[in-house]
Amino acid sequence: MIQLRKPVLYNGFEIKDGVKTINRLVHELSVDVYRLTNNNYLVLFIGIEIKDLRIANYDIIEVNVGDMTYPATILSKFSKSSLNKLVATATKKYGFSSVEGMHDLKEILINDVINPLRDSKKYAKFKVSIPNGILLFGPPGCGKTFIIRKLAEELGYNFMELKHSDVGSPYIHGTTISIGETFKEARANAPSIVFIDEIEGMVPKRDRLTSNSEYKREEINEFLMQLNDAGKQSVLVVGATNRPNLIDEAIIRTGRMDRLIYVSPPDLKAREELFKKFLSDRPIHNLDYHKLAWFSSNYSCADIEYISTEAAREAVKSDLDFISQEVLEKVIFKTPSSISKEELEQNEHFIGKQRR
């Protein structure tokens, strides 16, 4: 079963001057909230550095746990809505504001998921709800996992990642039971997003299974049963795959995965924004971002990050004062795209089935 992340601070952890934690009240993607012995509340930021907080808005303290330092703030009152507001205003980039490019995909998620949740009365009037499930497909390294994590941030939902390796069991029926327990936990902590990366490993085509794979058919049937009406229980199920042709057809029927969305390699504008992002904290001089984007057609987000890092490494090795256009172009020309022609063709063949 997928477990929610363990508390960073144990009960009785001393914050300062004899003030200690009583227990963890809330676990979100990027924060933990603890009740304190002085009747205040500690908001501990997880995975966010102090430099990424608007310190002027809140009194930020540092909490040291072993060799780790976490930024935190103390509130006299606490509610779920106040927490969402705090995180949204205290961080420089949060949710979709930290996503470079992917404008079409963000627009789809805003219209189909975020707006129905934020204006539920309006959508309920027309009997429109969020999709039961979403399947993101496309070449690797193009941000499928990243965008769903940011969707969870944007909504303030609990984020649970369901990996086949985590629910796998050597015992008969063990994996089936784990799948059921995971969804039970998601419902108990709703609203939640259950994200399944490489979903083709969880629900492969049943007509390709051998006669000795009855246990796998049982797992697929359990997943289908849990997927049915998940949205009505405030659980959004999102799958991601680089190989959509290997997924069982029953998963992508309407009423299960209602939205099939192609996540393409970043377009020209997105590649410009990605180069700006990955080079922003490095010494640079007189760069032509449009030209860099033009030279990197069909490169993934991961490819552009790699190129930016390799260019920085090359500048250091050559004892340069900054990263130049020449250095970046040199790295681009010797670094082929990680997306193969076959991967593009496989996904483009599936595009005709997408529902947006």
CATH classification of the domain holding 47: 3.30.200
- Domain final residue pick, 75, 91, 107: 91
Categorize the per-residue pLDDT at 145 as very low, low, confident or very high, splitting at 50, 70 and 90.
confident
Residue 217 lies in a domain: yes
The torsion of the CA quartet 231, 207, 1, 259, rounded to 10 degrees, works out to -20
What CA–CA distance (Å, rounded) separates 90 from 168?
39
Please tell me the total count of domains within the chain: 3
141 and 226 in a single domain? The answer is yes
175 and 256 in a single domain? The answer is yes
CATH classification of the domain holding 152: 3.40.50.300
21 and 128 in a single domain? The answer is no
168 and 240 in a single domain? The answer is yes
Q: What CA–CA distances, in Å, run from 24 to 5, 35, 86, 209, 297?
A: 11, 6, 18, 45, 47
Q: What CA–CA distances, in Å, run from 99 to 155, 265, 287, 306?
A: 15, 14, 22, 18
pLDDT-above-70 percentage for the chain: 88
Categorize the per-residue pLDDT at 3 as very low, low, confident or very high, splitting at 50, 70 and 90.
very low
* CB proximity list for 178: less than 8 A, separation 6 or greater: 1, 166, 167, 168, 169
74 and 59 in a single domain? The answer is yes
- Domain final residue pick, 76, 91, 106: 91
103 and 159 in a single domain? The answer is yes
CATH classification of the domain holding 326: 1.10.8.60
Residue 9 lies in a domain: no
Task: Please give the structure tokens belonging to residue 265.
Answer: 């390699």
| Predicted TM-score (pTM) of this structure | 0.69
Each residue's pLDDT tens digit, 154-205: 887 888 887 766 665 555 567 788 888 888 988 888 888 899 988 998 888 8
Q: What is the CA radius of gyration of the chain?
A: 23
179 and 242 in a single domain? The answer is yes
Task: Say whether 26 sits in a helix, a strand or coil.
Answer: strand
Residue 7 lies in a domain: no
**pLDDT confidence of residue 175:** 78
178 and 287 in a single domain? The answer is no
> What number is the average pLDDT over the span 55-74?
82
Between 287 and 172, the more confident residue is 287
Each residue's pLDDT tens digit, 92-108: 566 787 787 788 889 98
Between 155 and 72, the more confident residue is 72
Each residue's pLDDT tens digit, 22-55: 999 887 657 889 999 999 999 998 767 777 676 5
87 and 102 in a single domain? The answer is no
Answer yes or no: is pLDDT of 68 > 50. Answer: yes
Residue 340 lies in a domain: no
Q: Which domain holds residue 318?
A: 268-334
